[in-house]
Amino acid sequence: MTEATTANILDGRELAERVRAKLVSRIESLRTEGHEVRLDAVICSGNEAGEVYAASQERTCRQMGIDYRLHHLSEDVSEGAVVDTIEGLNADAAVHAIMVHMPLPSQVRSDLVQSAIDPRKDVEGVNPANIGNVIYGRRSLMPCTALAAMTMIESTGVQLRGRVAVCVGASRIVGRPVAVLLIQAEATVISTNVHTPDLAAMTRQADVVISAAGVPNLVTGDMIQPGAIVIDVGINRVKDPKTGRTRTMGDVEFDSVSRVAGWVSPVPGGVGPVTVAMLLRNTVEAAERAAG
Ligand code: NAD
Position 292 scores a pLDDT of: 86
Look at the alpha carbons of 60, 63, 69, 72 in this order and tell me if their dihedral is positive or negative.
Answer: positive
Position 133 scores a pLDDT of: 87
Distance in Å, CA 233 to ligand 1 centroid: 8
Q: What's the chain's average pLDDT?
A: 95
Q: Which of 93-97, 109-113, 137-141, 228-232 has the lowest mean pLDDT?
A: 137-141
Position 209 scores a pLDDT of: 99
Position 1 scores a pLDDT of: 42
Position 236 scores a pLDDT of: 94
Enter the pTM of the model.
0.94
217 lines ligand 1 (CB under 6 A): no
Strands 263-264 and 188-192, sheet pairing: unpaired
* Mutate-to-test residue for ligand 1 from 235, 252, 267, highest number of ligand atoms within 8 A of CB: 235
Q: What is the CATH number of domain 142-272?
A: 3.40.50.720
Q: Tell me which fold the domain 34-123 belongs to.
A: Rossmann fold (3.40.50)
Distance in Å, CA 239 to ligand 1 centroid: 19
**Which DSSP string do the residues of the chain spell out, in sequence order?**
-PPPP-SEE--HHHHHHHHHHHHHHHHHHHHHTT---EEEEEEETT-HHHHHHHHHHHHHHHHHT-EEEEEEE-TT--HHHHHHHHHHHHH-TT---EEEPSPPPTTS-HHHHHHHS-TTTBTT--SHHHHHHHHTT---PPPHHHHHHHHHHHTTT---TT-EEEEE---TTTHHHHHHHHHHTT-EEEEE-TT-S-HHHHHTT-SEEEE-S--TT-B-GGGS-TT-EEEE---EEEE-TTT--EEEE-SB-HHHHHTT-SEE--SSSSHHHHHHHHHHHHHHHHHHHHT-
Position 134 scores a pLDDT of: 82
194 lines ligand 1 (CB under 6 A): yes
Residues of the chain with CATH 3.40.50.720: 142-272
Looking at the CA of residue 193, tell me the nearest atom of ligand 1.
21
Q: Reply yes or no on whether the pLDDT at 2 is more than 80.
A: no
Strand partners, 177: none
Task: Report the C-alpha gap between 248 and 238 in whole angstroms.
Answer: 6
Which residue's CA is the nearest one to ligand 1's atom 4? Answer: 171
pLDDT one-digit tens code per residue, 158-173: 999 999 999 999 999 9
pLDDT one-digit tens code per residue, 260-272: 999 999 999 999 9
Percent of the chain surpassing pLDDT 70: 98
* Mutate-to-test residue for ligand 1 from 142, 174, 280, highest number of ligand atoms within 8 A of CB: 174
29 lines ligand 1 (CB under 6 A): no
Q: Reply yes or no on whether the pLDDT at 14 is more than 50.
A: yes
Task: Report the C-alpha gap between 26 and 17 in whole angstroms.
Answer: 15
175 lines ligand 1 (CB under 6 A): yes
Distance in Å, CA 55 to ligand 1 centroid: 26
pLDDT one-digit tens code per residue, 209-257: 999 999 999 999 999 999 999 999 999 999 988 899 999 999 999 999 9
Residues of the chain with CATH 3.40.50.10860: 34-123
Which residue's CA is the nearest one to ligand 1's atom 41? Answer: 272
173 lines ligand 1 (CB under 6 A): yes
Distance in Å, CA 288 to ligand 1 centroid: 32
Region 137-164: mean pLDDT is 95
